[in-house]
Each structure stands twice: as C-alpha cells, then as structure tokens.
Amino acid sequence: MPAPGELTFAAPRGAAMPPRHLADLSPAERREAMVALGERPFRAQQLSRHYFARYADDPADWTDVPAADRERLAGELLPRLMTVVRHASCDAGATRKTLWRLHDGTLVESVLMRYPDRITMCVSSQAGCGMNCPFCATGQAGLDRNLSTAEIVHQIVDGMRALRDGELAGEGLPDGEPARLSNVVFMGMGEPLANYRRVVGAIRRLTDPQPDGVGLSQRGVTVSTVGLVPAIHRLAREGLSCRLAVSLHAPDDELRDTLVPVNTRWKVREVLDAAWAYADASGRRISIEYALIRDVNDQAWRADLLGRLLRGRGAHVNLIPLNPTPGSKWTASRPEDERAFVAGLAAHGIPVTVRDTRGQEIDGACGQLAASARS
Ligand code: SAH
C-alpha cells in the first residue's frame, strides 16, 4: 500500500531503481551504514563533505580516507548513478540543458538558467510523468519510473559543480568565473508530489547545512504540482519554507478536467483550499502557474474568474506562453489576449508575471522536456 500522498496513477514501465547512494540517506542513516560496513561512524561525515560540499565523487580525491578503503566505500555509498549523454546550450550560453542516462538506461533532463540576479536549476523528479496533461511533452510519453532521492540530488550537485568550475556563461561575467546556484525548481520531468517521499528527502539533502547537505535555502526551492490534494496537505505538515506552485491552467472545472486530467479527482476549489493551507503553514505565498493557450483558456471572463478565486490570498500568477509540443493542435495566445488576461487579473489586484521562455531552441523550455520520447 502506498503511504498517503504517495500516489501512483499509472503503472511504471518496470525500469529498475538505482543502487543505494549516500544522498538517499539521512545523516544518522549514513553513520549506521558506515558501521554496517565495518567503518568508524565519522567516515560518514567525511564522505558527506566530499560529496555535498566539494562535489567530489571520485575516490581518488578523498585524501583523508585511507587509500585502501576508498574504492570499496565509493562502491558501497557513492555508486555512479547517471552519466551525461549530452549538453545543449542557448541564450548565449546562459541556459544549458543536460540529458542524463540513468543506470537502467532511462533518460531524464535538467536545465540550468543563469540570470543577472540569480541562477535557477529546473530538475526532474520522475522519468516521464503519469499526469497526462495534453499540452505537455513529458505527459505525452507516460511514466517510466520514479527517480530516487539521490538521482534528484545528483542533478543539482552536478549543476553546482559545473557552476563552481565556471562552465556556465553569464552576462557581464568573464568566462570561467565560479558561480553559485540560488534556486531549485521541481518543474522538470515528472509530478514531484507523486514521488512524495523521495522528493521530500531530496529537499532535505539540498537544504541541510553543509556537510550534511548542500546548504541551499529552503526559500529558494519551489515544488510545482498539478494539485494532488492529500500530498499538498502532507507537505504542509513537513515544516518546510519552500514555495509551492500550483499548475492551475483553468479556473473552472469543466476546462481544467481536460487540461489537467487529475482535476477529475480533485477539483479547483479543493486544490486552492489545499494551497491556502500550505501558505498558512509555510508562511510563503503560493504561485499559480497558468499556460496561456490560444482560444482555449485565455478568454477575459476566465481572467476575471481566476482573479475572483485568488483575490485577497496573496497568490502570484505566473503566465506561461504555451510552448507548442510536436504535433500539438494548440499554440500560445495572441499578444492582445495575453495583455487583456494580465489586465483582467491586475483589476483584482493580483500580482502577475509572464514567464520568459528560456531554452526554447534547445527544447529546454517549460513542458518541452521529453527525453525518452525523442531518443
Ligand atoms: N508536474 C509538475 C511540474 C511540471 S512542469 C506540474 O504540473 O506542476 C512545470 C510547469 O510547466 C507546469 O505548470 C506545467 O503545466 C507547465 N507546462 C507543461 N507543458 C507546457 C507547455 N507545453 N507550455 C507551457 N507550459 C507547460
């Protein structure tokens, strides 16, 4: 039986979970694992420092561990989980998409985006996705499997290593300048709350202070969901200060049932009530994601209805011009309809931004990540 919030909507296609890795374990579990391997418990912290603080997963670099033990400990606790198939860059080098091959051949993608004031990494929480939203490339391909906590964490650890080593260009920055990640968004492949336990484990690893974890701020982490109501309530009880983004895409159940099929199970009203409960528990404003689709969900009356649903809740709306996926019958809204939609929300005092479409030429923009479908 899955735990509450651990919801499976489609049978994964039988691909295998990876071997155990340091990043799957809490600090206490790492010490226990060391003892079980016949080692002194303090070695757990040594390895944690190498991995989470120095991004050094090559045992040759662990000079504080006896040379004779390094390979064995690496094999037991830092097995190679994934390899880079290729990188693709655009936006003058400030956006880089990575295609990863996991140990069982499964493919996933992550995207690193450098802005003047922040650096954001968009990570995958599942290989594929079972939510089946018809406008999303990942949704078209179905779910392969959940990612392990360490497979999620490693996307970020490798991104931080690349930034430290000056691999990502930045406006006004000399080439090769080290940089640091500020934000992580669970907006890559997958529905993070359908892989609940491993995603929360990844958030802990990413936000625990070094050397137990990577030391990122919880406030810089955003979990984006289609609206799995029991899992949102469960997340509210974790005591986290991460941001929650809700992919609404329609203010009315009739249309949302078709754009976000899980809406047939949890309605707009229930999803928003769960989001407000999360806002109360976390002290963070909710982000509402809304992909603007020409003549589908971009009418002025829907902006007005959305404004009325959100009024007074402190929520922020992020409008995403639809990125058409291959073979899609839909496209982005006309500029005048987009402007009218923004104005309709602003009339209710709702803060609105229109998402930039970073990474479009490398199929790295919102909803375009679909490695398994193309390879
Ligand atoms: N499963 C999570 C993360 C998905 S990706 C969720 O649904 O929230 C992050 C955002 O990109 C979601 O809001 C998703 O609906 C949106 N998105 C997916 N495909 C898109 C597309 N083709 N154009 C624009 N936005 C898209």
136 is catalytic: no
Quote the number of domains for the chain: 1
Ligand 1 centroid from CA 369, angstroms: 10
Of ligand 1's listed atoms, the one at least distance from the Cα of 247 is 13
Distance from the first to the final alpha carbon of the chain: 33
| Mean pLDDT of all residues in 108-129 | 94
Among 289, 296, 316, 317, which is best to mutate for testing ligand 1, by the most ligand atoms less than 8 A from CB?
A: 289
**Contact of 313 with 353, CB cutoff 8 Å:** no
Of ligand 1's listed atoms, the one at least distance from the Cα of 224 is 8
Distance CA 230, CA 133 (A): 20
pLDDT in tens, 31-46: 999 999 999 999 999 9
**Contact of 58 with 44, CB cutoff 8 Å:** no
> Long-range contact list for 196-200, CB < 8 A, 24+ apart?
196/3, 196/5, 196/6, 196/7, 196/231, 196/234, 196/235, 197/3, 197/6, 198/125, 198/146, 198/147, 198/148, 198/149, 198/152, 199/125, 199/149, 199/152, 199/223, 200/235, 200/238, 200/240
| CATH number of the domain to which 37 belongs | 1.10.150.530
pLDDT of residue 342: 98
Q: Is the CB of 191 under 6 A from ligand 1?
A: yes
Give nearest CA residue, ligand 1 atom 4: 187
Distance CA 181, CA 78 (A): 23
Q: Is the pLDDT of residue 173 over 80?
A: no
CA 310 remoteness from chain centre: 24
Q: Is the pLDDT of residue 1 over 50?
A: no
Band (5; pLDDT cuts 50, 70, 90): very low
Ligand 1 centroid from CA 365, angstroms: 9
Examine residue 54 and state whether it is found in any structural domain, yes or no: yes
Higher pLDDT, 248 or 89: 248
Give the start-end residues of each E strand in 48-142: 82-90, 95-102, 107-114, 119-122, 126-128
Nearest CA to 220 out of 82, 123, 299, 303 is that of 123
Examine residue 32 and state whether it is found in any structural domain, yes or no: yes
3-state SS class at 123? coil
Examine residue 237 and state whether it is found in any structural domain, yes or no: no
Examine residue 33 and state whether it is found in any structural domain, yes or no: yes
Helix pair angle (335-346, 300-310), 10° resolution: 30
3-state SS class at 86? strand
Q: Is the pLDDT of residue 6 over 90?
A: no
Ligand 1 centroid from CA 28, angstroms: 36
Nearest CA to 364 out of 124, 13, 201 is that of 124
Q: Is the pLDDT of residue 9 over 60?
A: no
Distance CA 7, CA 230 (A): 9
Nearest CA to 279 out of 316, 247, 307 is that of 316
Looking at residue 332, the DSSP 8-state letter turns out to be B
Q: How many CB atoms lie within 10 A of CB 15?
A: 17
Examine residue 286 and state whether it is found in any structural domain, yes or no: no
Of ligand 1's listed atoms, the one at least distance from the Cα of 135 is 22
pLDDT of residue 373: 40
Among 125, 126, 146, 224, which is best to mutate for testing ligand 1, by the most ligand atoms less than 8 A from CB?
A: 224
Examine residue 36 and state whether it is found in any structural domain, yes or no: yes
Examine residue 53 and state whether it is found in any structural domain, yes or no: yes
Q: Is the CB of 111 under 6 A from ligand 1?
A: no
Distance CA 97, CA 113 (A): 9
| Mean pLDDT of all residues in 170-177 | 70
pLDDT in tens, 63-113: 999 999 999 999 999 999 999 999 999 888 889 999 999 999 999 999 999
User: Residue type for 6, please?
Assistant: E
Residue 16, burial from CB neighbour count under 10 angstroms (0-12, 13-18, 19+): exposed
Examine residue 46 and state whether it is found in any structural domain, yes or no: yes
Ligand 1 centroid from CA 47, angstroms: 36
Q: Which one is catalytic: 6, 109, 151, 191?
A: 109
**Contact of 362 with 320, CB cutoff 8 Å:** no
Q: Is the pLDDT of residue 374 over 60?
A: no
The residue segments making up the domain with residue 67 are 22-77
User: Residue type for 175, please?
Assistant: D
Q: Is the CB of 6 under 6 A from ligand 1?
A: no
Of ligand 1's listed atoms, the one at least distance from the Cα of 190 is 1
Give nearest CA residue, ligand 1 atom 26: 367
CA 103 remoteness from chain centre: 20
Residues ≥6 apart with Cβ < 8 Å to 68: none
Looking at residue 180, the DSSP 8-state letter turns out to be -
**Contact of 123 with 186, CB cutoff 8 Å:** yes
pLDDT of residue 12: 55
